Structure formats: structure tokens, C-alpha cells
Structure 1
Amino acid sequence: MKHLENRVENAGETDDLTERIEKGKLEKLLRTAVKTVNGVGLLFENSIVCFVFC
């Protein structure tokens, strides 16, 4: 029973940690998405430049 009581006490902290992990994942996803969009944009720009000048 003692183990269960400890888990209830720590539940608040765990929720906070889970929230932080979720936020971190979201930030990572957003950064990756931005990098991907920028990468695709650069590729697209380069192909236009190449198309015009090659």
C-alpha cells in the first residue's frame, strides 16, 4: 500500500514531466517541419534558378 501512496504523491510531478516531454516533442516536430519546408523551398528555388540558367 505504501508504494501506491507514494505514486499518488508523485502523480502531480509526473504529470508536469509528461507535459514537458509532450511540449518538447511538439517543438521538435515544429522545428523539423520548418526545416523540411525550408529545405523544400531551397530545393525549389535552386531548381528554378537551374531551369532559368542551365
Structure 2
Amino acid sequence: MKNRFGQLCKNFGQLPKIFGQLCKNFGQLPKNFGQLSKNFGHLGLLRLNTNHNGTTYVQI
């Protein structure tokens, strides 16, 4: 039982690292969406809108 708790603690210890990676990935999202908008924008096919509560959605 004690060994399992040790394993759990080890796993939880890695959580910040995992969240850090997630944040890094999410941080790159605006860049990707910006690129998409640039690509589709001149075609008039895709518009990214942000509504009043901050949710970004695609309008076609």
C-alpha cells in the first residue's frame, strides 16, 4: 500500500510539468489561429469571432 502512495506522489509531482506543457501548447494556439485566419481571410471563408464571454468561434 505504501508503495502505491509513493507512485501516486510521483505522478502528482509530474502534473505541473504536464500542465506546463499544456499551457505551452495552448499558448501557441493564437499563433495557429492567426495563421489560419491569414490563410482563409483573403478567401472570405473563415472569420474568427469572439463573443461577449470570450469564447472564440468560427463563423463561415
Q: TM-score range by the shorter chain?
A: 0.5 to 0.7
- After TM superposition, where is structure 1 displaced by more than 4 Å over at least 4 residues in a row? none
Q: Which runs of 5+ in 2 are unaligned?
A: 45-60
Higher relative contact order (CA 8 A, sep 6+): 2
RMSD across aligned positions (CA): 1.7
TM-score, normalised relative to structure 2? 0.52
TM-score, normalised relative to structure 1? 0.56
Identity %: 5
Higher strand fraction: Structure 1 or Structure 2? 2
Q: Which runs of 5+ in 1 are unaligned?
A: 42-54
Alignment of 1:1-54 (within 5 A): 1-37=5-41, 39-40=42-43
